[in-house]
Amino acid sequence: MMKKRFLYAGVIAIVVFVLDQATKLWILAKIPYGSEKPVISGFFDIIHTRNTGAAFGLLAGANSSFRVPFFYTIAAVAAVVIVLVLWKIAEDRGTVVACALVLGGIAGNIADRIRLGSVVDFLSFHVRDEVFSQTIFGYNLRFPLSWPAFNVADMAITAAVVLLLISGFSKKTVVGADK
């Protein structure tokens, strides 16, 4: 059973990695850096941008002597934890798929960091060029109505989180049942 679990997870992780890298190679070849191609006007564009940070550009401005080893260390620790979860804990298919999606996503984004020094992001969703602006309790809140650009690896990792949340909420647990 364990061999089957690792095989299943390995295939999914490899598929995610290959799809992620293939789409990024296409972007690198076809979309000049900083350019955008509207797909659904005012809502969805294919763009070519780079992210030196984590999700939402977190730590993008940090010194690279800290940022680069930090991201490699986090990715390595996450990969080890996921393999341990697959080996020791993951018995249901949802958890195995979630672990595989995260592994494939981590591998895709780390490959970019190694090869390019940053992660290629290319999917951009936004509401025209609108900006939310509202004063609440005397504070002016202002931000663009757009989602930070992302890629296939990011989608896989997000899907894994959703799968784990669904799995966690769908399990019937009774408080104190093990006493």
Residues serving a catalytic function are: 121, 154
Q: Which amino acid is at 64?
A: S
Q: Which amino acid is at 139?
A: Y
Closest CA to 17 of 116, 113, 152: 152
Closest CA to 44 of 178, 173, 150, 156: 150
In this structure, what token pair is assigned to residue 30?
């076809």
Closest CA to 124 of 31, 60, 53, 58: 31
Residue 134 Cα distances to 131, 141, 144, 147, 148, angstroms: 10, 5, 12, 19, 21
